[in-house]
Amino acid sequence: MDVYFSHHIFDRQTYGGISRYCTELHRGLRRAGMQSRIAAGLHINAYLDEVDEVWGARVSKRAGTNTARLQFNRCTDSLLRALLPETAIYHVTFHDRVVLPKRARLAFTVHDLIRERVAGPEAFAQPLSTRKRSLAELADVVFTVSHCTKRDLVELFDIPADKIFVTHLGTSFSRFTDVRPDDALAPYVLYVGARQGAADYKNFAQMVRALSSSRVGQEANLVCFGGGEFTSEQVDLLDRCGLRERTHLMKGDDRCLARLFAGARCLVYPSLYEGFGLPPLEAMTMGCPVVCSERSSIPEVVGSAAVFFDPEDVESMSSAIEQVYFDNQLRTTLSRRGRERSRQFQWSTTVKKTLDGYHYALQRKTAR
């Protein structure tokens, strides 16, 4: 069996959960003896520097070059799809286009249906949603990263449950056990990820209000990792809440984030909806206590190794953050439980379950 990952997500992400998933899956398939290749074309992704059998080259993300780069990748991808044999798996990495191989089996991973859940019926008419649904319907096998997302696919897109395989994500942060905590801003609570635009479901503003109303907000720094620059609205909110001077934006690679996890009093993860929730898993791997929303797939990931809150209730969130921040014994317990919990999420398991799905796809199409 030969597996080919498409270029699509590597056009979009330098760092990010989906491209990390694809890279780790490719790495694991090769370790398992599979012929796996990433047909990345001219890409901007940093993770591909870590693996072999990448067809393409990393280029700088310069203004004005994006259109030409994407056109080149689409042309080479079209040629690849035409040449792949029936025994190959073509694994689409993102739903920015509906692309079908001529003979190979089509695999597709749906990471979440957040837009459809949060925005409601109007989201179903948006191009990204219609393409996601089309690929899920046409695919010989569909993967999801949580049981929560599988239920959403069945309920919202009417995808047959028997062709959906749940493959939980693994954690890549176990390789950072030697890092020293980043305590330059200590004491601090940590927020990781997007904060604006289509990411309103991440609930950043509600977390700011919760911190402001708690005793934690009177003494702790707030460190935000990734997610781009603060918008003017976010700066105004931080100012009104008295947190602007103690809020710090950090950027960097996975090792930088691992150091922040290692030094934080806790990770606060206030999201209203997730398809998986990778930052809590990464935090648990580093022994960072997790305070998080009780919604969607997040409890599926953290189990009993976190303190939960209602993400729409400022008082509930504020109380949970205070509970963990000020209780040394609780933080020690959460750190131990988190490390134990994180060991249940291994990329080797992801690979094994993915191979089960690939074999299903080969048998399914052969039977048509």
Domain of residue 71 covers: 2-169+346-366
Assign 3-class secondary structure to 295-328.
CCCHHHHHCCCCEEECCCCHHHHHHHHHHHHHCH
Same domain, 361 and 240: no
Q: Which residues contact 74 (CB under 8 A, 6 or more apart)?
A: 97
Q: What is the pLDDT of residue 56?
A: 95
- Looking at the fold, whether 302 and 181 belong to one and the same domain comes out as yes
Asked if residue 112 lies in contact with residue 298, where contact means CB atoms within 8 angstroms, the answer is no
Taking the chain (368 residues) in runs of 10, the rounded mean pLDDT of each run is 96 92 97 96 95 95 81 95 96 91 96 88 87 96 98 97 97 90 93 81 96 96 95 96 96 94 97 95 97 97 98 97 98 98 97 98 70
Same domain, 120 and 206: no
**What are the tokens at 331?**
């933080």
Residue 44 pLDDT: 95
Q: What is the pLDDT of residue 66?
A: 85
User: So what's the pLDDT on residue 365?
Assistant: 59
Strand order across the 307-309 sheet: 247-250, 221-225, 188-192, 266-269, 290-293, 307-309
What is the sign, positive or negative, of the torsion defined by CA atoms of 241, 245, 249, 254?
Answer: negative
Q: Are 14 and 46 in contact (CB under 8 A)?
A: yes
In a shared domain, residues 195 and 335:
yes
What distance in Å separates the CA atoms of residue 98 and residue 120, rounded to the nearest whole number?
23
Q: Are residues 164 and 235 in the same domain?
A: no
**205 and 337 in a common domain:** yes
The tokens for 73 are 């990748």
- Domain CATH number, residue 131: 3.40.50.2000
Burial class (CB in 10 A: 0-12, 13-18, 19+), 302: buried
What integer pLDDT is reported at residue 61 of this predicted model?
81
The CA distance from 289 to 331, in Å, is: 6
**3-state SS, residue 197:** helix
Q: Based on the domain organization, do 88 and 193 belong to the same domain?
A: no
Alpha-carbon torsion 96, 232, 219, 180, what sign?
A: positive
For 193: left if phi > 0, alpha if psi spans -120 to 50, otherwise beta; the answer is left
pLDDT of amino acid 64: 67
Question: CA angle at residue 141 from 137 to 145, to 5 degrees?
Answer: 100
Same domain, 107 and 72: yes
User: Residue 198: its pLDDT value, please?
Assistant: 59
Supply the pLDDT for residue 200: 84
pTM of the predicted protein model: 0.92
Q: How far apart are CA 238 and CA 224, in angstroms?
A: 12
Count of domains observed in the chain: 2
Task: Please tell me whether residues 352 and 304 are part of one structural domain.
Answer: no
| 186 and 243 housed in the same domain | yes
**Tokens of residue 329, six digits:** 């014994």
Whether residues 178 and 206 share a domain: the answer is yes
- Residues 97 and 243 placed together within one structural domain of the fold: no
